Amino acid sequence: MDRETARFISSIAEDERIFFEDLDGTEAHNIMLHDQGIITRDELRGILASLETLRSRKQKGDLEVSSEFEDIHEFIETYVIDEVGIQVGGKLHTGRSRNDQVALDVRMRVRTELNAVSERIINLIDSLLTGARKHLDCVMVLYTHNQPAQVGVFSHYLVAYADRLFRDLERLQDAYARVNTSPLGAGPIGGSSLPIDRSRTAFLLGFPELVENSIDAVSSRDFVLETVGHLAILMTGLSRIAEDFIIWSSAEVGYLEIADEYASTSSVMPQKRNPVPLELIRAKTGTVLGAHVSLLTMVKGLQTGYNIDLQETKPPVWKSFDAVNAAVEVLTGILTTLKVNARRMASVASASYAIAMDLAENLVLDTALSFREAHQLVGTLVKEALNAGRLPTDLTPTMVGDLAKRLLGKTIVIPDEVIQRVTDVRSCLSNRVTVGGSSSSEVKRMIPERRKRLRTHRKRVAARLNALEASRTVLRDTVHEYLSEGTTLR
């Protein structure tokens, strides 16, 4: 092939990420070929020995994978043939196609990546819950439309972030079950005439199930579409946390201070502390969303069956995992070192009229006003108070009573303590009674429940890792038994 073109069609660079997966898959396939009487024990030993040399050379960093190869599958097969000759090495690819092989490798790698990213998300949730515990009494304004909405506690936001991340974890866990199925043995599209045993290779590689239909097994990449889709959703969530922290750490707001390790300076303005890592979390979200769109676009027009367009689906997947891993890691660091300016938060909260809705609701509770009347009353009250430069704590029952008369033509009796109950931010919060709402007692109740869920998630990921490790051990032991002298195996 023409040199430029050869480079154009090569996937060697992105196949770096499936090198060991390809070795494992090839070893399992050849063990199965021997089990099925398709290759002899000596042939298997020759093939395994060569693959193991390749493995240790790669591990030692003593392997040059030339970009002249079309892909890693061709490279590995060529290596074995060069080492043990075509008579034996030429049997390695019996009953297999690169189409089922690459689908297998990608599934194996995505499996590993999903476990790693899930562990990172768990650590991020852990630091959110730790922060939530710590800042339970940290009163602040809650925002809608970037305007003061209600009073609440900072903790409540942190628990909200954790709750969203739990759903990300669950989505990824869901996807894992579908990724964790073996396409190996599907051949190019319609299977093989040789008596291969798909369940045996699936078992050796730790897959609980097959992608049964051979056409589906080589054609489909919905497992990466959904995985990257879930990563995209995860990133949009991280991006919003980043945006909250960017606003809250601005000089004007001053609620948060990003630790020095996570702030960067300006080359020219000496006073600057830019929240650059947070901005890049926001930007890398674009990268992952773009990756998702690329993937969907690559796949949408493909005739059912393998088309080499599918080769191009690998880089966006790797890129997405890289972006997500880095973003989750950096955000965890930012959270654990974050300085929270509770005083500033509290003073903004008590100077704001974010207690207005609570005041209206308390008028509903304690007077005969309907909610709409109370809403109008408090709305006007706040407007006039702001014009007169009055703080919520300056409000008196008389002011409210007079306004009710003037505005609504109603005489209402307002007990003194109603105004106090609401205008003092802390007492206002302790009167919030909604399940899942902002009172610190409610937030306090929510945290241990999340802790418990987090433990369950940790156990699930550990179980997945253990299952993979167990199958790896079986495969490693089988390979080593064949390679060691005096083997008891056939």
Q: Which of 277, 325, 332, 329 minimizes the C-alpha distance to 172?
A: 325
Q: Check residue 219 for interaction with ligand ARG (CB under 6 A).
A: no
Window contacting ligand ARG (CB under 6 A); options: 46-54, 308-316, 446-454, 455-463? 308-316
Q: Where are the alpha helices (DSSP H) in 308-403?
A: 314-337, 342-351, 356-366, 371-387, 397-403
Q: Which is nearer to ligand ARG, 9 or 463 (CB)?
A: 9
Q: What's the closest the beta carbon of residue 42 comes to ligand ARG, in angstroms? A: 29
Window contacting ligand ARG (CB under 6 A); options: 97-105, 107-115, 177-185, 218-226? 97-105
Q: Which is nearer to ligand ARG, 296 or 308 (CB)?
A: 308
Window contacting ligand ARG (CB under 6 A); options: 130-138, 179-187, 256-264, 303-311? 303-311
The DSSP code for 408 is: I
Q: What's the closest the beta carbon of residue 481 comes to ligand ARG, in angstroms? A: 31
Mind giving me the DSSP string for 246-268?
HHHTSTTT-SEE--GGG-B--SS
Is 145 a residue of the active site? yes
Q: Which amino acid is at 397?
A: P
Q: Check residue 186 for interaction with ligand ARG (CB under 6 A).
A: no
C-alpha count within 13 angstroms, C-beta hemisphere, residue 409: 0
Q: What's the closest the beta carbon of residue 62 comes to ligand ARG, in angstroms? A: 24
Question: Bridge partners of 182?
Answer: 210
Q: Check residue 295 for interaction with ligand ARG (CB under 6 A).
A: no
Is 266 a residue of the active site? yes
Q: Check residue 98 for interaction with ligand ARG (CB under 6 A).
A: yes
Q: Which is nearer to ligand ARG, 99 or 438 (CB)?
A: 99
C-alpha count within 13 angstroms, C-beta hemisphere, residue 403: 22
Q: Which is nearer to ligand ARG, 73 or 292 (CB)?
A: 73
Window contacting ligand ARG (CB under 6 A); options: 137-145, 286-294, 304-312, 482-490? 304-312
CA distance 72 to 50: 15
CA distance 96 to 99: 8
Q: Which residues ranging from 17 to 76 are in contact with ligand ARG (CB under 6 A)?
A: 71, 73
Q: Which is nearer to ligand ARG, 2 or 62 (CB)?
A: 2
Q: Exactly one of 26, 30, 50, 99 binds ligand ARG (CB under 6 A); which one?
A: 99
Residue 267 burial (CB count, 10 A): 7
Q: Exactly one of 54, 102, 256, 395 binds ligand ARG (CB under 6 A); which one?
A: 102
Cα separations in angstroms, 373 against 242, 367, 383, 432: 39, 11, 15, 21
Q: Exactly one of 162, 310, 377, 425 binds ligand ARG (CB under 6 A); which one?
A: 310
Name the catalytic one among 66, 145, 193, 267.
145
Q: Which is nearer to ligand ARG, 17 or 120 (CB)?
A: 17
Q: Which runs of E-coded beta strand occur in 98-168?
A: 139-144, 147-153
Name the catalytic one among 250, 266, 347, 484.
266
Burial 166-195 (b: 16+ CB within 10 A, else e): bebbebbbebbeebbbbbbbbbebebbeee
Q: Which is nearer to ligand ARG, 188 or 290 (CB)?
A: 188
CA distance 130 to 146: 26
Q: Check residue 11 for interaction with ligand ARG (CB under 6 A).
A: yes
Q: Which is nearer to ligand ARG, 247 or 308 (CB)?
A: 308
Q: Check residue 189 for interaction with ligand ARG (CB under 6 A).
A: no
Asked if 325 and 116 count as a contact pair (C-beta separation under 8 A), the reply is yes
Burial 327-354 (b: 16+ CB within 10 A, else e): bbebbbbbbeebebbbebbbebbbebbb
Asked if 455 and 8 count as a contact pair (C-beta separation under 8 A), the reply is no
Q: Where are the alpha helices (DSSP H) in 367-439?
A: 371-387, 397-403, 416-423, 425-430
Q: Exactly one of 142, 149, 160, 308 binds ligand ARG (CB under 6 A); which one?
A: 308
**Contact string (CB under 6 A) for ligand ARG, positions 65-84, x = contact:** ------x-x-----------
Contacts with ligand ARG, residue ranges (CB under 6 A): 11, 71, 73, 98-99, 102, 308, 310-311
- Which residues are known to be catalytic? 145, 266
